Amino acid sequence: RGGEVAREIPFAKPGSLTRIYAVASGKGGVGKSSVTVNLAAAMAADGLSVGVLDADVYGFSVPRMLGVDRPPTRMDEMILPPVAHDVKVISIGMFVPGNQPVVWRGPMLHRALEQFLTDVFWGDLDVLLLDLPPGTGDIAISVAQLLPTAEILVVTTPQTAAAEVAERAGSIALQTKQQVVGVVENMSWLEQPDGSRLEIFGSGGGQTVANSLGESIGAPVPLLGQIPLDTSLREGGDVGTPVVLSHPDSAASQALTQVARRL
């Protein structure tokens, strides 16, 4: 870093080997953050060097879900991200006093994101995952500007209404000329004691989003996985140990790990 011009985004430099995935959803509560932290933990367990940037200003939950209990520290001009389960984590929530809601406008969000990318000492990452706020807001545009090589990963539930808004979130990639790496359908079903699947939120949303994004982009968009409802996934998020680590053999963990390996 010595002598380098400050304010350069390492991942945006030509030749950067870091793969960047911006995890997007149409609306909140579909499991975008849960998917993000589990993909990160699964990739780290596979030996990759992984960072997560929680840019979900309205519902920053990544630190809790990964069990990060320490704030970032400073070294010289840089911010050292706390590490949990071998994942480096920076969240907008770490810079907000108390548990206050963030009421920032676009330009401030843009600057915060830029600072997280330039001033955080991420080191050599294989993968950087960004947890975006739900919807098609300013942050998605900022990500496209600051990290043009970031690929969009869309999370949806099987529900038609959720799928429609997820499509809109994904189709922002058309305008920004970003790649859509694929779709993850979450909360796909609940496995009954007799092994049958109860489709609480209906079915087909993930495939529908993948198909229609593929059509509007003009390139196939894969449905990368379907994650069932799972009590231990929710508990894992509450206690800060991702389910892929605490219950690696569960159906949800296997599906998440498979998605991580397809990325």
Residues that bind ligand ADP (CB under 6 A): 25, 28-34, 59, 61, 186-187, 227, 229-230, 233-234, 237, 252
Closest distance to ligand ADP from the beta carbon of 142 (Å): 19
Query: Is 27 marked as a binding-site residue?
Result: yes
For residues 90 and 62, give the distance between their C-alpha atoms in angstroms, rounded to a whole number.
9
Closest distance to ligand ADP from the beta carbon of 252 (Å): 6
Q: Count other C-beta atoms under 10 Å from residue 252's C-beta.
A: 27
Closest distance to ligand ADP from the beta carbon of 188 (Å): 8
State which residue, 167 or 230, has the beta carbon closest to ligand ADP.
230
State which residue, 30 or 127, has the beta carbon closest to ligand ADP.
30
The neighbouring-strand residues paired with 20 are: 128
Query: Is 51 marked as a binding-site residue?
Result: no
Query: Is 32 marked as a binding-site residue?
Result: yes
Closest distance to ligand ADP from the beta carbon of 100 (Å): 18
Query: Is 29 marked as a binding-site residue?
Result: yes
Query: Is 28 marked as a binding-site residue?
Result: yes
DSSP 133: P
Token code pair at residue 223? 């449905």
State which residue, 10 or 36, has the beta carbon closest to ligand ADP.
36
For residues 40 and 128, give the distance between their C-alpha atoms in angstroms, rounded to a whole number.
9
State which residue, 68 or 229, has the beta carbon closest to ligand ADP.
229
State which residue, 79 or 150, has the beta carbon closest to ligand ADP.
150
For residues 187 and 101, give the distance between their C-alpha atoms in angstroms, rounded to a whole number.
27
Q: What is the DSSP string of 90-148?
A: EEGGGGSSTTPPP---HHHHHHHHHHHHHTB---S-SEEEEEPPSSS-HHHHHHHHH-T
Closest distance to ligand ADP from the beta carbon of 42 (Å): 14
CB 180 within 8 A of CB 152: yes
Binding site residue list for ATP: 26-33
